[in-house]
Structure 1
Amino acid sequence: MHAIRLHAFGPAENLTYEKTDDPEPGPGQVRIAVEAAGVHLLDTAIRTGVQGPLPHLPGLPTIPGREVAGTVEALGPDTDPSWLGREVVAHLGFAPGGYAELAVTDADRLHTVPAGLDAAQAVAMIGTGRTALGILNFTETTPDTVAIVPAAAGGIGTLLVQYVKHAGGTVIGLAGGPAKTALAAANGADLALDYKDPDWTARAAGFLVNLGRKATVLYDGVGGPAATAALDLLGPGGHHVIFGWSGRGIGDTGGPLLLDETERARRGLVQEQVLGQAMMRKAGGDNPVRTLELAALDLAARGVLTPAVHRFPLAEAAAAHHALETRATTGKVILEPWESTGPQV
Structure 2
Amino acid sequence: MHAIRLHAFGPAENLAYERVADPEPAPGQVRVVVAAAGVHVLDTALRQGELGPYPEPPQLPTIPGREVAGTVDALGEGVDQRWLGRRVVAHLGLAPGGYAEKAVVAVEKLHELPDGLREDHAIAMIGTGRTTMAVLRFSDLTADDVAIVTAAAGGIGSLLVQHAKNVGATVIGLAGGPEKVARVRELGADVAVDYTADDWTAQVRAALGGRERAATALFDAVGGDVARDAVGLLAPGGRHLVYGWSGGGPLKLTAEELAELGVTSLSVLETAEWRAFVSRPGAVRELEEKAMAEAASGRLVPLVHRFPLAEAARAHTALETRGTIGKVVLVP
TM-score band (shorter)?
Answer: over 0.9
Q: Which residue identity lines up with residue 264 of structure 1 in the other structure?
A: L
Q: Is the 8 A contact 2:161 2:171 kept in 1?
A: yes
Equivalent residue number for residue 252 of structure 1? none
Q: Which residue identity lines up with residue 326 of structure 2 in the other structure?
A: G
Q: Which residue identity lines up with residue 265 of structure 2 in the other structure?
A: Q
List gaps (5 residues or longer) in structure 2: none
Q: Deviations over 1:269-302 (max 9, x none)?
A: 1111122675353468531110000000001111
Within-5 A mapping of 1:254-265: 255-265=249-259
**Equivalent of 2:294, from 285, 296, 299?**
299
Within-5 A mapping of 1:54-133: 54-133=54-133
Q: Which residue identity lines up with residue 194 of structure 1 in the other structure?
A: D
Partner Cα separation in structure 1 for residue 222 and residue 207 of structure 2: 22
1:135 and 2:135 correspond: yes
Partner Cα separation in structure 1 for residue 266 and residue 53 of structure 2: 18
Equivalent residue number for residue 45 of structure 2? 45
Q: Is the 8 A contact 2:213 2:233 kept in 1?
A: no
Measure how far apart 1:258 and its partner are. Answer: 2.4
**Equivalent of 1:274, from 263, 268, 275?**
268
Q: Which residue identity lines up with residue 167 of structure 1 in the other structure?
A: V
Q: Percent identity?
A: 60
Measure how far apart 1:213 and its partner are. Answer: 6.8
What SS does the corresponding residue of 1:246 show, helix, strand or coil? coil
Within-5 A mapping of 1:1-345: 1-209=1-209, 214-248=214-248, 255-275=249-269, 278-279=273-274, 281-282=276-277, 286-337=281-332
What SS does the corresponding residue of 1:247 show, helix, strand or coil? coil
What SS does the corresponding residue of 2:206 show, helix, strand or coil? helix
What SS does the corresponding residue of 2:286 show, helix, strand or coil? helix
RMSD after superposition: 1.5
Which piece of structure 1 moves more, 208-217 or 185-194? 208-217
Partner Cα separation in structure 1 for residue 212 and residue 63 of structure 2: 52
Partner Cα separation in structure 2 for residue 327 and residue 44 of structure 1: 12
Q: Which residue identity lines up with residue 94 of structure 2 in the other structure?
A: F
What SS does the corresponding residue of 1:228 show, helix, strand or coil? helix
Q: Deviations over 1:52-84 (max 9, x none)?
A: 122222121110000000000111111111111
Q: Is the 8 A contact 2:205 2:212 kept in 1?
A: no
Measure how far apart 1:318 and its partner are. Answer: 0.2
Which piece of structure 1 moves more, 64-73 or 222-231? 222-231
Q: TM-score, normalised by structure 2?
A: 0.96
Q: Runs of at least 4 residues of structure 1 off by over 6 A?
A: none
Q: TM-score, normalised by structure 1?
A: 0.93
What SS does the corresponding residue of 1:275 show, helix, strand or coil? helix
Partner Cα separation in structure 1 for residue 264 and residue 211 of structure 2: 22
Q: Is the 8 A contact 1:135 1:279 kept in 2?
A: no
Measure how far apart 1:187 and its partner are. Answer: 0.6
Q: 1:37 to 1:108 in 2, by over 3 A?
A: same
Q: Deviations over 1:155-213 (max 9, x none)?
A: 11110000000000011101111111000001111000001111110111222335797
Partner Cα separation in structure 2 for residue 284 and residue 37 of structure 1: 27
Partner Cα separation in structure 2 for residue 126 and residue 238 of structure 1: 30
List gaps (5 residues or longer) in structure 1: 249-254, 338-345
